Amino acid sequence: MKSIIFVTHNQNKLKEVKAILDGKYHIISSTDINCTEEIPETSNTIEGNALQKARYVKENYGYDCFADDTGLEVDALGGEPGVDSAIYAGVGCSYEDNVRKLLDTLGDNPNRTARFRTVIALILEGREYLFEGIVNGRIIREGKGTGGFGYDPVFVPDGYTETFSEMALELKNSISHRGRAVSKLAEFLNQYKSTESNNN
């Protein structure tokens, strides 16, 4: 079975992706190949950061791999925090700091529409592929719920009344940006015909 590296140290993400992809491919995390150094993420786009991480592992470790990057794009803020979602309130800040900054910056603005956008960059047999997953929704005025992470307490996806933090994880994963991007990756990999020998 062909091995593909998922460039992440996040065990929750790994579990989520393995549940969809393991079977035809052996999914290994970058932690498992001892790639423990901080990989540069210096692009000013979500696509660029995903590609940068995947290229780093391909170039330095030689494995076919994929990497993801996510941002929250708020319309009233011209798409911010976007690629800076993790460090919106400053380097080393907490999820709570980011949420507080977002709510303070939006203030009473009635335009609350936003989206989470994930891009997965895959490098396979010398080619690069991008898969995008989007979930549209809105930012509420005060956090609700205890589950999830990041901006989940203030994000209500379209078609629902509860925040991502209030939802069961299975429901969130089935409609989320990352879930959608991973499904596209899975569909692609499941139909992929290898051009290399020894692999199916």
Rule CB under 6 A: which residues touch ligand IMP?
69-70, 72, 85-86, 95, 98, 116, 148-152, 164, 176, 178
Which residue's CB comes closest to ligand IMP? Answer: 150
Q: Which helix (H) or strand (E) holds 30?
A: none
Smallest gap, in angstroms, from Cβ of residue 142 to ligand IMP?
Answer: 16
Could you write out the DSSP letters of every residue in 144-175? --SSS-TTGGGEEETT-SS-GGGS-HHHHHHH
Does the active-site annotation cover 68? no
Smallest gap, in angstroms, from Cβ of residue 154 to ligand IMP?
Answer: 9
Question: How far apart are alpha carbons 66 and 110 in whole angstroms?
Answer: 38
189: tokens are 């990999």
Smallest gap, in angstroms, from Cβ of residue 58 to ligand IMP?
Answer: 19
Give the CA dihedral 11, 180, 157, 107, nearest 10 degrees: 70
Cα dihedral sign, 86-88-94-99: negative
Q: Which helix (H) or strand (E) holds 113?
A: strand 113-124
Catalytic residue among 64, 68, 69, 152: 69
The residue among 150 and 199 lying less far from ligand IMP, judged by its C-beta, is 150
The residue among 64 and 69 lying less far from ligand IMP, judged by its C-beta, is 69
Strand 155-157 to strand 25-29: parallel, antiparallel, or no bridges (unpaired)?
Answer: unpaired
Q: What's the residue count for the chain?
A: 200
The residue among 104 and 198 lying less far from ligand IMP, judged by its C-beta, is 104
User: DSSP letter at 43?
Assistant: -
The residue among 95 and 188 lying less far from ligand IMP, judged by its C-beta, is 95
Smallest gap, in angstroms, from Cβ of residue 193 to ligand IMP?
Answer: 30
Smallest gap, in angstroms, from Cβ of residue 133 to ligand IMP?
Answer: 10
The residue among 131 and 151 lying less far from ligand IMP, judged by its C-beta, is 151
- Do 102 and 79 contact (CB within 8 A), yes or no? no
Which residues belong to the active site? 69
